[in-house]
Amino acid sequence: ATATATATATATATAASTATAATMSGSDNGKKTITLANGVEIPTFGFGCAFGDWSSEGRTNKAIFSPEDAWTQVPRALRAGVRHLDTAFCYRTHRAIGATLGAAFRKGELKRDEVFVTTKVFHPAMPRLYGKTIDLKAPDVLETVQVQVRRDIYASLDELQLGWVDLLLVHWPGDFGSTDRAFNRRLRLLVWRVMEEALDRGMARAIGVSNFTEQHLADLAEDGAVVTPHVNQIEVNPYTQWTAIQEYCQANGVLVQAWSPMGSTGSSMLRDELLVALAEKYGKNPGQIVLRWLVQQDMGVLPRSSNEARIASNMDVFDFEISEADMAAITALTKGRSLTNPSPYDIA
């Protein structure tokens, strides 16, 4: 009887362990990767961890970000099969991400090398971000910026409770609306030196930038960057395309990652007649058409949804290919600008 009970208990424990591991498995679509210039494999799909209410009435009286949403959204993304979490120091979601991953590590549902974590530092100060930014108008910023960026990297790792991040990005190329190109070039090079230091010291496996134009990238190279950014994360979707940036990145081995790939909150893009027609043609939904259009151009993508089934379906784009003519038709939808977000070209 004892042997039978022991065998039963062992079988039950094994089944429970298998079931627990399965809760984090999802599909394999979240494991599809792109190889960066330094050989690091980055999942094609990431899950954006900036949460907030950016469309409802009265939102101007609220904080820009709502990090409390991460406690439900991040586990949901992992269950759907996401293996790349994209966050930033100013999003204030590090702790929820770290706690969620820590619990998954403890339960044996995930290992550290099975999840890719991106974060960003160096966001200019702005109202309702409540700290975690850098005042780029401060008179001594050129003397203090490296200390501040280094401090924010250390704080990010501490909040995430990780020994390193897989990708570390410069969030913006300068202060919004700043026109002093010479000053911004000096500032960007100082920040980039700290990023190179973080890479060299093993605090990040890859480093990159976000919202940089082709001129920002060319200036950085000309000014003496030792490491070419591995990634440039910019807004890209059928309505917002930065062709010159994309072409520069492709020519110089910089992966373009598309944030806001399906348009910003409240956007009508997914109701565009062409996208709706192509969705019917290919047996997909408009969002999947857009994401396939991006993936087919060898871009990484960072869609977000609060629905677990939709998160999984967003990644279900590897079983079809859009024709060359249809790819061109989607590309022709561009408005040549962002409809809701700052333009990277507004920073000198």
Distance CA 166, CA 42 (A): 8
Name the CA radius of gyration of the chain, rounded. 21
Looking at the DSSP bridge assignments, the partners of residue 121 are 170
Distance CA(302)–CA(260), nearest Å, equals 7
Order of strands across the sheet that contains 300-302 = 47-48, 84-86, 116-121, 167-170, 207-210, 231-235, 255-259, 300-302
Q: 204 by DSSP, 3-state: which?
A: strand
Q: Which of 91, 239, 248, 282 is catalytic?
A: 91
Cβ count within 10 A of residue 283 = 9
* Structure tokens given for 82: 């996401």
**CA–CA distance, 331 with 314 (Å, rounded to integer):** 20
Coil, helix or strand at residue 303: coil
Q: Distance between CA atoms of 75 and 236, rounded to whole angstroms?
A: 26
Q: Would residue 130 show up in a list of annotated catalytic residues for this protein?
A: no
CB 229 within 8 A of CB 217: yes
Contact 283, 313 (CB under 8 A): no
Closest by CA position to 70, among listed 12, 119, 7, 131: 119
Q: Give the residue from 101, 96, 66, 67 showing the smallest Cα distance to 83.
A: 101
Q: Which residues are catalytic?
A: 91
